[in-house]
Structure 1
Amino acid sequence: MKGSMSLGKIRGIRIEINISWIVIFSLVTFMMASSYFPTLYPGMNPVIYWSLGISIALLMFVSILLHELSHSIVSIHLGINVSSITLFIFGGLAQIEEEPNDPVKEMKIAIAGPAMSLLLFALFTLLSNLLLFLGITEIYTVPFSYVGGVNLILAIFNLVPAFPLDGGRVLRAILWYYKGSLQFATKVASSMGDMFGYFLIFIGLYWALSGNVINGLWFVFIGWFIKQLSQSSYQNMMMNDLFTKIHVREFMTRDLVVVKDFTSVEDLVENYFYRYKYVCFPVVRNESVLGLVTIDSVKKIEREMWNQTSVGAITELLRDDLVAAPDATVISAMKKLFSNKIGRMVVIEDGKLIGIISRTDILNYIRVYSELHQ
């Protein structure tokens, strides 16, 4: 995610923190130190207030991280890889590499997060009461009791049956299991998410107009965010479903312009890039595909060396993520297209070049399809 920095890895999962979380961390610390603790426990050293405020912010950070890690660990256990977890303004987001292929897996992954939050609620509440029992001054137990309550609220909120919240995923898994249709289940769960988003926006506007401006605007922001995610989730599911039914052969560009490997870079620029307006060309050597040459490859060569350098010398040689089979599904090709740096793949059948496919082709298709099926 843009605007994020890496904190390291846990069980092979990259942990990132978005700059928006730093804003929330600062606000929570400030509110606790300047208002909450001084109001409840007046007359104490400000250092204590700020230390406790930072403690609460850190415990909230750990709680949200554990919530997302529980989703991720269950996913990995079920054979679904998770590349990263990003903590941002609304909580956390686990980057799961593929959607579960059956409702039981969906249910297990979805329920893991709220289950962790309920466990943390119980542990923090128990720890707070234990410290009080041992005679610890009450103010020092507040971070545990407060964050325990936050975890309870987090669990309850996430169990609302509105996609993309965890409860919405549980609802989708149940409908998917009994109806046998992921498309139907996603449509219903996303509709619930849409309605819940509007509900939060309405409550937020009511509070804002009643004088509780900060909390009101916050609810409006969360409601809008959930509404947008619910709509985009359904659209993404429709696209994934569509692209699993379309094969590369039906989608690829067949009219190709190829470049011989012995062509000079100067000739490539003048007679190919300028003439055809493409940013990438397949390169062939003795009728066999050598690889792909791009504008970026040319830019690495000094201008005065263009007429002395052959295209073959700057070609990106073929590798697995640059080649697609004509009978492969578009969804499988997309994974390669969006992971390689070129954004294009050649289509080869029986050793012969028969087409090319690009990210732009897919994005344009999505744009047209979305316009026609709004």
Structure 2
Amino acid sequence: MKNSFVITRIKKIQIEVNISWFLVFSLMIYTLATGYFPSVYPDLNVSSRWILGGIIALLLFGSVLLHELGHSLVSIRQGIPVKKITLFIFGGIAQIEKEPDEPVKELKIAAAGPLVSIFLFLLFMAMARLLGYIGAPEVLVIPMDYLSSANLILAGFNLIPAFPLDGGRILKSVIWYFSKDGQKATKVAAFTGSLFGFFLIFIGVFLLLNNFIVDGIWLAFIGWFINQESKSSYQSKVLTDIFDKIQVDQFMTGDVVSVDSDISIQELIENYFYKYKFNAFPVEKAGRVVGIVRGESIKRIPAEARGRTLSGSVAIPLSENLVVSPSDTVTTAMTKTAANGVGRVLVMDTEGNLLGIVSNTDILNYLRTYQQLNG
């Protein structure tokens, strides 16, 4: 996700925070300190309200992180890698590298998050009761009570059968299991997600019209997000079903134009970018592919330095996300083009020979033709 920065890694999963998270974090502290505490705990002094608000906000987002880690760790156990977890304005999202290929896997991954939240609900409730029993200060009991309720709400909301919420994924897995049709299951679950999204937007507008400005905007925004995600999830499933059936060697563009790492950037611009009108080229050194050079990389080189700067020095080094084998599916190629930020992958055999290329343009052109021929 753009505008995010990494804070740590857990089990090789990158944990990052999006700048939008700070907005909701600040809003939560403000709401707790100026609204919740004064009405529920009027005896708390002002400084305690703000300090407690900050502590509770951090612990609540820690709960959200644990919820997403539940999904992620179960996903990894099911053989599906997880690249990162991002905390953002709507909470958290785990970037699972591919969709589960079996309904039971989908069910296990989807159920893991709410189960973690239910466990945290019970844990915080038990701690609140224990602290109350031993006569601990109210300032220690309050966060436990609040976090207990918040995790129960988090679990309950996520279990609503509306895709892409966890409940929607559970619904999808059940329909998929009995119908044996993953695309149909995704379509039904996405439809419920779209309906729920419109429902939240309607409630949000209603609240706005009745002067509940913040709550109305927030609900409408969440509804819009769920609606958009449900549609894109179904479209993604359709694409996967199409491209899972096609091997890269049947789809790639052959006769790839590559450049030598020792030519200057000026020569690269004049003899390759302007001539062939591509926005990236494979780079070879001593007959072996070593990376890809992009127009974006060249833009950062001052014009006066382009004659003495070699192409190889600005090439993106070859990596796993830049290469597919001819026997891979186009779905694999599509996943890697989305992840590598280059918009294309090189098709190479086990000996490192360059056989072809698959780009986002190839995928979009195929889809355009497919839709024309299949309605």
- Name the TM-score class by shorter chain: 0.7 to 0.9
Aligned residues of 2:282 and 2:291 also touching (Cα < 8 A): yes
Query: Are 1:112 and 2:131 an aligned pair?
Result: no
Structure with larger Rg: 1
1:184 is displaced (CA, Å) by 0.9
C-alpha distance 359-130 of structure 1, shift in aligned 2 (>3 A): same
Aligned residues of 2:201 and 2:223 also touching (Cα < 8 A): yes
C-alpha distance 233-307 of structure 1, shift in aligned 2 (>3 A): closer
Q: Tell me the equivalent position of 1:150.
A: 150
1:57 is displaced (CA, Å) by 1.0
Cα separation, 1, equivalents of 2:55 and 2:316: 51
Deviations 1:161-208 (A, max 9, x none): 111111111111111111111111101111111111111122222222
Cα separation, 2, equivalents of 1:261 and 1:139: 65
C-alpha distance 245-158 of structure 1, shift in aligned 2 (>3 A): same
Deviations 1:76-95 (A, max 9, x none): 22222212111111111011
Segments of 5+ residues of structure 2 without an aligned counterpart are none
Query: Are 1:176 and 2:176 an aligned pair?
Result: yes
1:357 is displaced (CA, Å) by 2.1
What is the TM-score when the length of structure 1 is the normalising length?
A: 0.86
C-alpha distance 372-195 of structure 1, shift in aligned 2 (>3 A): farther
1:93-172 equivalence runs, <5 A: 93-138=93-138, 140-172=140-172
Q: Tell me the equivalent position of 1:216.
A: 216
Letter in 1 for 2:166: D
1:217 is displaced (CA, Å) by 2.3
1:253 is displaced (CA, Å) by 2.3
C-alpha distance 202-46 of structure 1, shift in aligned 2 (>3 A): same
Cα separation, 2, equivalents of 1:300 and 1:41: 57
Using the TM superposition, name which of 221-230 and 39-48 deviates more.
39-48
Letter in 2 for 1:171: L
1:316 is displaced (CA, Å) by 7.0
C-alpha distance 76-271 of structure 1, shift in aligned 2 (>3 A): closer
C-alpha distance 295-232 of structure 1, shift in aligned 2 (>3 A): closer
Q: Tell me the equivalent position of 1:277.
A: 277
Letter in 1 for 2:277: K
Secondary structure in 1 matching 2:356:
strand
1:258-337 equivalence runs, <5 A: 267-282=267-282, 290=289, 294-295=293-294, 322-337=322-337
1:249 is displaced (CA, Å) by 3.1
Aligned residues of 2:164 and 2:190 also touching (Cα < 8 A): yes
Secondary structure in 1 matching 2:27:
helix
1:103 is displaced (CA, Å) by 1.1
Secondary structure in 1 matching 2:104:
helix
C-alpha distance 372-26 of structure 1, shift in aligned 2 (>3 A): farther
Letter in 2 for 1:106: E
Deviations 1:44-81 (A, max 9, x none): 43111112212221221121111111111111222222
C-alpha distance 368-90 of structure 1, shift in aligned 2 (>3 A): farther
Q: Tell me the equivalent position of 2:53.
A: 53
Cα separation, 2, equivalents of 1:127 and 1:341: 46
Cα separation, 2, equivalents of 1:184 and 1:138: 52
Q: Tell me the equivalent position of 1:200.
A: 200
Cα separation, 2, equivalents of 1:170 and 1:12: 26
Aligned residues of 1:52 and 1:140 also touching (Cα < 8 A): no
Cα separation, 2, equivalents of 1:5 and 1:206: 36
1:335 is displaced (CA, Å) by 3.8
C-alpha distance 118-295 of structure 1, shift in aligned 2 (>3 A): closer
Using the TM superposition, name which of 340-349 and 140-149 deviates more.
340-349
Secondary structure in 1 matching 2:7:
strand
| Identity value in percent | 49
C-alpha distance 291-101 of structure 1, shift in aligned 2 (>3 A): same
Q: Tell me the equivalent position of 2:5.
A: 5
1:267 is displaced (CA, Å) by 4.7
Q: Tell me the equivalent position of 2:36.
A: 36
Letter in 2 for 1:182: G
Cα separation, 2, equivalents of 1:225 and 1:323: 33
1:279 is displaced (CA, Å) by 3.0
Q: Tell me the equivalent position of 1:227.
A: 227
1:231 is displaced (CA, Å) by 0.5
Segments of 5+ residues of structure 1 without an aligned counterpart are none
Cα separation, 2, equivalents of 1:3 and 1:310: 31
Cα separation, 2, equivalents of 1:38 and 1:313: 61
Using the TM superposition, name which of 260-269 and 56-65 deviates more.
260-269
Deviations 1:199-237 (A, max 9, x none): 112222222223333222222111111111100100011
Cα separation, 2, equivalents of 1:58 and 1:342: 36
1:142 is displaced (CA, Å) by 1.9
Q: Tell me the equivalent position of 1:189.
A: 189
Q: Tell me the equivalent position of 1:78.
A: 78
Cα separation, 2, equivalents of 1:264 and 1:69: 47
Secondary structure in 2 matching 1:141:
helix
Using the TM superposition, name which of 133-142 and 61-70 deviates more.
133-142
Aligned residues of 1:161 and 1:170 also touching (Cα < 8 A): yes
Q: Tell me the equivalent position of 2:359.
A: 358
Cα separation, 1, equivalents of 2:207 and 2:316: 58
